[in-house]
Amino acid sequence: MPFIATPDGTEIFYKDWGSGQPVVFSHGWPLSSDAWDTQLKLLADHGFRAIAHDRRGHGRSTQTWDGNTMDQYADDLGTLIDRLNLRDAILVGHSTGGGEVTRYMGRHGTSRVAKAVLVGAVPPLMLKTDANPEGTPKEAFDAIRAGLAADRSQFYRDLSAPFYGANRPGSTVSHGLRDQFWRLGMQVSLKAAYDCVAQFSETDFTEDLKRIDVPVLVAQGDDDQIVPIRAAAYKSVQLLKDAGLKVYPGASHGIHGAYEREFDADLLAFCRA
């Protein structure tokens, strides 16, 4: 299996499919690169080089005790991009992965980046504050940490319902998809999963978004129960220099079903443009 080693010795697993202009995918919490398989195949089938990695502590990458920070996630992504010598790359980030992509561009610049896609992404800030009243109260994230510490297996099973909108009337979410969420979540070390909650909820990406000088597609479902769209996509497009917004009516946080088919078409069109 392909790995790259970061300066602190962490082994980062990645998939590298197809050839052509590189499209690099960053996954959400608590998943891995496997969550992007449909999009990896789609892009590789259409003449792109599709790449996705497992964040440190997740999937097949090293389960480090330290380094579970947004800055380190961004630096790990930078190491992957540098080691593979990627140029003119398109970066795609979902949820926490959208934060990782945003922090990478804010921290390392865009010299290797052509454009980016943020889908259901956590920027600019998830946490409710006086300056961000649309955010989510800290108590909600404390409950996530408590659920992880008490019984993470059951917690992930329960979380898969709002993640994919399975708790909505008429939901067609399959048991298999929810099982996949649980399976990928259980591959994350407890320490990495626990630490990452603060990173995706409390990191302020406002200044990172302002620094991004490449075209960005901001996409999100308006029934996202995990990342409120009013605190995320609607605010991000106002901070970016060159952004387009796509809202998917009734769509959840997790990408699946009709939402996934529509997003895939939009992703491919954006990459080709």
User: Do the Cβ atoms of 123 and 102 come closer than 8 Å?
Assistant: yes
Note the pLDDT of residue 52. 98
Pairwise CA distance, residues 167 & 162, whole Å: 6
- For the entire predicted model, the pTM comes to 0.98
Q: Is 224 a catalytic residue?
A: yes
- Of 27, 53, 94, 253, the active-site residue reads 253
Pairwise CA distance, residues 104 & 35, whole Å: 20
Q: Is 213 a catalytic residue?
A: no
- Of 32, 33, 61, 95, the active-site residue reads 95
CA 95 from chain centre, in angstroms, equals 4
Would you write out the chain's pLDDT as a tens digit for each of its 273 residues?
699 999 999 999 999 999 999 999 999 999 999 999 999 999 999 999 999 999 999 999 999 999 999 999 999 999 999 999 999 999 999 999 999 999 999 999 999 999 999 999 999 999 999 999 999 999 999 999 999 999 999 999 999 999 999 999 999 999 999 999 999 999 999 999 999 999 999 999 999 999 999 999 999 999 999 999 999 999 999 999 999 999 999 999 999 999 999 999 999 999 999
Pairwise CA distance, residues 19 & 107, whole Å: 27
Q: Is 175 a catalytic residue?
A: no
Range list of β-strands (E), 168-262: 216-221, 243-248
- Of 61, 224, 236, 252, the active-site residue reads 224
Domains of the chain by start residue, with CATH: 3-272 (3.40.50.1820)
Q: How many CB atoms lie within 10 A of CB 238?
A: 11
